[in-house]
Structure 1
Amino acid sequence: MVVPIRELAGCRTAHDRLDEAIAGLTDQQARQPSRLPDWSVGHLLTHIARNADSVVRRIEGAARGEVLSQYEGGREGRAADIEAGAARPAADLVADVHRSSARCDEACAAVAAEVWERPTLGLVGGESPASFLAFSRWREVEVHHVDLGLGYQPDDWPADLVELWLPGLLEALPGRTDPAGLLAWTIGRAEAPDLPDW
């Protein structure tokens, strides 16, 4: 049985760090653009909160022996929830992120060890073991903390996350770009090749 201890610890720390970073968020900051196209900071904070809810939904479903989709209503439901919550006052956004992250931590801490091996569904429908939820939530919080544009940078990402995530991304690089161009760049013989969005 694989209990994602390292990933769960990473999630808790990421949640605490994000809570601290947004504690004094103003309404003006909540309305400003995030680093993601067409999303304000309010959109992004709402997404972070609903993503935590999606982890709780799937882990509790897995505990009952159910394989649930990530978001009720799929992509459309996800988009509607984000849009509906984006314009709330900053205090409401901050409280929502804090509450949903805390529920996520509590649900993950309460689950029996055997549940981590059970299947869950992602947004695009692919199955993965419930243990992947801890990593995907940790990754989500760390990346979107940067995307908020409030001072947190990729250099601030914890070494444990980079160590877990980077090897898989590097392995997939040749399939995302010109392999010869990638090799030439790696050995200092060319500029980095174009890389489509992840």
Structure 2
Amino acid sequence: MNLEADPERATQLCCEAQARLTRRVAHLSEDDVRSASLLPGWSVGHVLTHLARNADAHARRLSGALNGCDVSKYERGAEQRRSEIEDGATRSASEIIVDLLASMRALERLFVQSAIAGWPNGDFLGGGDYGVAGSAAHRLREVEMHHVDLGLGYTPAEWPQEYVDWDLPVLLATANERLGSINERRSIMAWLAGRGPLDAQMTLAPW
């Protein structure tokens, strides 16, 4: 299954994922938001702020495509992304949550508009590596991965099967470049071929 090529189904899965996230975070306390997430150096507030700004970024691309403009996710690039996350994570729990929910609703409205319009200019890349019609699939990945990263009880065991069917092959394709040595490559190759155990000490570079 290629969810990038099926924006209608990806949208449905993404909206369901955002609904699960909404239920998880709607009543978080100040202590919850300040607590450490599972991502090194990031609090729960950092992760939630990133999810809000990522929704805005996908909305920016979709809005641009609807108007015939090929725009990037972040107008000022990686530095904008970094500063917005750092600054936004210092806000109160209520501000962070309200912001996240508003950004997700706005994105879902743009999904609807894009679907009605037939996903115009879906091949626009915006300086990235996937067409804007793949935004729903890539937003789904962000929500599913970072929902786990919050460390609030959501686990990979709860990932929808359709999401796993799409993203597992994508992630497997990145393994070679994320392994640190030729011996690690040999080890994981043997394991994938059923020719040896997976080394418990092996690590992959962050994806």
Asked if these proteins are the same fold (TM beyond 0.5), I'd say yes
Task: Please tell me the residue identity of whatever aligns with 2:139.
Answer: R
The Cα shift of 1:174 comes to 3.7
CA distance in 2, matches of 1:79, 1:175: 24
CA distance in 1, matches of 2:39, 2:24: 18
CA distance in 1, matches of 2:34, 2:71: 33
User: 18, 25, 28: which is aligned to 1:25?
Assistant: 28
CA distance in 1, matches of 2:173, 2:87: 38
Structure 1 counterpart of 2:151: 149
The Cα shift of 1:114 comes to 4.1
With normalisation by structure 1, the TM-score equals 0.91
Aligned-residue CA RMSD in angstroms? Answer: 1.7
Instruction: Tell me if 1:171 matches 2:173.
Output: yes
Structure 2 counterpart of 1:4: 7
Give the 3-state SS of the residue equivalent to 1:5 in structure 2. Answer: helix
- Identity across the alignment (%): 39
Structure 2 counterpart of 1:51: 54
Task: Please tell me the residue identity of whatever aligns with 2:22.
Answer: D
Instruction: Tell me if 1:113 matches 2:118.
Output: yes
With normalisation by structure 2, the TM-score equals 0.87
Judged with a 3 Å threshold, the aligned counterparts in structure 2 of structure 1 residues 32 and 65 are, in CA distance, closer, same or farther, namely same
Q: How many residues align?
A: 194
The Cα shift of 1:171 comes to 3.3
Task: List runs of 5+ in structure 1 lacking aligned partners.
Answer: none
CA distance in 2, matches of 1:127, 1:160: 22
After superposition, give the CA deviation of every residue in 1:79-131 in whole Å (9 maximum; x if it has no partner). Answer: 1111111011111111111110010010111121141523132xxx3242111
Judged with a 3 Å threshold, the aligned counterparts in structure 2 of structure 1 residues 174 and 76 are, in CA distance, closer, same or farther, namely closer
CA distance in 1, matches of 2:148, 2:140: 13
